[in-house]
Chains A and B, each alone.
Chain A
């Protein structure tokens, strides 16, 4: 967190978490809810199930499954609009954890990360609706900053363990064997040539790129939590995530990480997404840094 922003429990400008929540809700509506409702639909249409992660987890009936699907949709819209966002965030996180626990095949690291963000945004107590955010009536709003800090810590934990996994995995380390495996399927129109070039480079110097990937992830883990390295964390994350999304394999992880970067945004950018925003009196001393996106 930039210098001078105080400790974990101190108040911070509320629009950062409110903006993050609206963006996270969009990803939830576009990627997460369709996927998890699809899993639940298939599960409740099937007569055979493997044992869930814990024996005490109840298996949903078809009716309960449909109710949960509707509830997930409603919660995602509530999250987007900022209506009872804490309930909506935790409901989505809880429902997702339940669906993931029903069958090992429901698990994915991307979904796991999305659920952690939903739970953490469910801790935010900014009470800024989407309407209020858009109209710029949140200039004076402050909220406890600990959910922002937890999101930063979560990002650091994820990238630290991703790096550690690559250090220990026989497919990475000093061999980079994973990078010489079968090519990734072409995706994103107009980028086939670049993706082919990327494949060639990966195959030519896999060990170097393996070490570089581990170093990047470790660097990110440090930058997310060390005060003063926020700008580096943002730049490195945007570059790394964009590369993964367009050169390697598309996935919701990229969008979740990019959204989570909102908690690292400097005050002058994050002073508000509103086009009509004016500096709040108590922030006016920071001068031009409060003028919002269009400042």
Chain B
């Protein structure tokens, strides 16, 4: 077995080591300190080795549809849209690796996509209630999308 590196293999190994270490050192630092931002504040971020660094934000989300004045109804085939999701009962979730804006963006995108496809006159709603460790104030946020015919 070839155990001693010579020639191009040696150069390739050195190049790989340098690139690997540079990426592994630079990426977490940039993520953690948000180096692209003007004030470079610390932030909790993915790809930054921030294990156990914050209390996990938890929330419940309730997905339903409604027509003016009517009670909330279940969204048909919600499992087809996102496998495992339920409607209209609340689903407990955590935002351990996602930001508050990413959570809102996910559900805004979901109800918008459903409304866009169905066009049945209903309003599709995602009601998000933060139950623990919400990064900002307030407890409940609703995102709505009208499914205009």
Contacts and interface: CB of A to CB of B under 8 A. Distances in A.
Interface string A1-33: 000000011110010000000000000000000
A131 interface: no
Interface string A50-66: 10000000000000000
Contacts of A141: 1, 3
Interface stretch (B65-73, B81-89, B140-148): B81-89
Contacts of B133: 181
Interface string B29-68: 1001000000000101011111111110000000000000
Contacts of B105: 50
Contacts, number: 130
B3 to A, nearest CB: 4
A107 B52 contact: no
Nearest to B6: A9
A109 B16 contact: no
A108 to B, nearest CB: 6
Interface stretch (A161-169, A189-197, A269-277): A161-169
Interface of A: 8-11, 14, 41-43, 45-48, 50, 104-105, 107-110, 112-113, 116, 123, 125-127, 141-144, 146, 149-150, 153-154, 157-158, 161-162, 164-166, 168-169, 171-172, 177-178, 181-182, 248-249, 253
20 contacts: A9-B10, A9-B13, A47-B80, A104-B98, A104-B102, A109-B97, A112-B46, A113-B49, A116-B24, A146-B13, A150-B20, A153-B21, A161-B28, A162-B49, A162-B52, A162-B53, A165-B48, A165-B50, A169-B53, A182-B132
Given A153-B24, A165-B32, 15 more contacts: A9-B5, A11-B4, A45-B83, A46-B80, A109-B46, A125-B2, A144-B5, A144-B13, A146-B5, A149-B17, A150-B21, A162-B52, A164-B32, A178-B55, A181-B133
Interface of B: 1-5, 10, 13-14, 16-17, 20-21, 24-25, 28-29, 32, 42, 44, 46-55, 80-84, 96-98, 102, 105-106, 109-110, 113-114, 132-133
